[in-house]
Amino acid sequence: MKQDSEAVLQPAGEPSAQQAFASYAAPLVHHAIELAEAVHEDASPEALHQLRVSLRRLRSLWWAFAPLLDKGENGRQRAVYKFLATAAGKTRDWDILIELLAQQDDASREALMPKLEQARADTLAVSRETLLNADVKHLLRDALTSTSAELNVAHLPRIALHKFAAKRVRASERSLKKRIRHASHAKRSNYAAFHDVRKAGKKLRYLFEFFGPVLEGGHKRTLKHLKKIQKRFGELNDTVASEELLRENAEVLAGPGDTEAALDWLGKQRKRRIRAAARLLD
């Protein structure tokens, strides 16, 4: 188990980072379980989106507490959240593609939509089966129990929550700044650099949401900027992911002309959204 060499011992009356973990994690775990169970009854795009967001928040929380946890065990837990989020996300990807192409003013869209809806339904069946077989309730409850137990081993020093939270936020801020610098000098075709900014910005936003009440100073301006990054870079990611999904499934979806028109339209949307995202880096 790792310990922070710069950790400040817990002052009297203040909860330690170790003690506070469960208060952050338990509500997220319970909410994710509820959402996973609801997906079996509610097949709407919003239900799947909320489940994927919930699992990503859990993954970010475990990242935040990584310095206090065994590296291997923490990695395994985060991999579980990624696996479950991917299972939900596969159906959500079809939803995003359908929502985007609904904006396309082209006759070829009419021939494509029924097959997109069928592909979405087929993927949903697989997503539901994956989540059911994974036994999400027990996976998440076990993760919460084992991590809480590891953090509260009696002989380990307690670490002040506000100091720990501030340090993890600073680490996340440095990561975001590094990725922004890289993306600002990258070619517009280098989507990976933009994607890294989106992921780093999302993680930092989650940390502010987790730890905001114990951090010093105001963070409204930073959060406002992070929300802008998440929105614009999220729109770019939706377009890129939709292009890839359509291209990968073009042969089974419709005739070549239908998919070519859709891919051409998505390509134009991607270029427009890259420009919009790049403006936030200046």
CATH of the domain at 117: 1.20.120
In this structure, the answer to whether residues 124 and 256 fall within a common structural domain is no
Residue for token pair 């949307």: 269
In a domain, 80, yes or no: yes
Residues 203-215: what's their mean pLDDT? Answer: 92
Instruction: Write down the pLDDT at residue 71.
Output: 87
Query: Higher confidence at residue 41 or residue 276?
Result: 276
In this structure, the answer to whether residues 167 and 133 fall within a common structural domain is no
Of 159, 180, 203, which closes a domain?
159
In this structure, the answer to whether residues 153 and 181 fall within a common structural domain is no
Residue 255 pLDDT level (bands cut at 50, 70, 90) = low
Percent of the chain with pLDDT strictly greater than 70: 91
Residues 21-47: what's their mean pLDDT? Answer: 89
In this structure, the answer to whether residues 194 and 107 fall within a common structural domain is no
CA 172 to chain centre: 15
In this structure, the answer to whether residues 140 and 190 fall within a common structural domain is no
Instruction: Write down the pLDDT at residue 25.
Output: 96
In this structure, the answer to whether residues 135 and 208 fall within a common structural domain is no
In the chain, the amino acid numbered 111 is A
Neighbours of 2 (CB within 10 A): 11
In this structure, the answer to whether residues 187 and 119 fall within a common structural domain is no
Instruction: Write down the pLDDT at residue 112.
Output: 85
In this structure, the answer to whether residues 169 and 251 fall within a common structural domain is yes
In a domain, 127, yes or no: yes
Query: Higher confidence at residue 198 or residue 258?
Result: 198
Of 122, 138, 159, which closes a domain?
159
In a domain, 1, yes or no: no
In a domain, 33, yes or no: yes
Instruction: Write down the pLDDT at residue 256.
Output: 53
Q: What are 244's two structure tokens?
A: 């890839």
3-state DSSP call for residue 217? coil
Query: Higher confidence at residue 198 or residue 251?
Result: 198
Whole-number Å distance between alpha carbons of 272 and 188: 11
Which residues, listed in sequence order, are joined to residue 160 by a DSSP beta bridge?
16
129-179 residue pLDDT tens:
888 888 899 999 999 999 999 888 756 688 899 999 999 999 999 999 999
Whole-number Å distance between alpha carbons of 38 and 128: 10
Residues 203-220: what's their mean pLDDT? Answer: 89
Residue 6 has pLDDT above 60, yes or no: no
- pTM of the entire predicted model: 0.85
Which domain, by its residues, includes 46?
A: 16-159
* Structural domain total, the chain: 2
In this structure, the answer to whether residues 167 and 154 fall within a common structural domain is no
Q: Single out the residue of 224, 170, 211, 177 nearest to residue 196, CA to CA.
A: 177
Q: Is 213 exposed, middle or buried (0-12, 13-18, 19+ CB in 10 A)?
A: exposed
Q: Is 86 exposed, middle or buried (0-12, 13-18, 19+ CB in 10 A)?
A: middle
Residue for token pair 């990054």: 229
In this structure, the answer to whether residues 20 and 151 fall within a common structural domain is yes
In this structure, the answer to whether residues 25 and 101 fall within a common structural domain is yes
In a domain, 184, yes or no: yes
Instruction: Write down the pLDDT at residue 280.
Output: 86
DSSP string, 117-167: HHHHHHHHHHHHHHHHHHTHHHHHHHHHHHHHHHHT-TTSPPBBHHHHHHH
Instruction: Write down the pLDDT at residue 140.
Output: 93
Residue 254 pLDDT level (bands cut at 50, 70, 90) = low
In this structure, the answer to whether residues 231 and 103 fall within a common structural domain is no
Whole-number Å distance between alpha carbons of 224 and 238: 21
In a domain, 212, yes or no: yes
Q: Which of 2-16, 28-42, 103-117 has the lowest mean pLDDT?
A: 2-16
- Cα-based angle 203, 204, 206 (whole degrees, multiple of 5): 65
In a domain, 215, yes or no: yes
Q: Single out the residue of 212, 271, 213 nearest to residue 240, CA to CA.
A: 271
In a domain, 94, yes or no: yes
Residue 63 has pLDDT above 80, yes or no: yes
Residues 233-260: what's their mean pLDDT? Answer: 85
Of 130, 159, 188, which closes a domain?
159
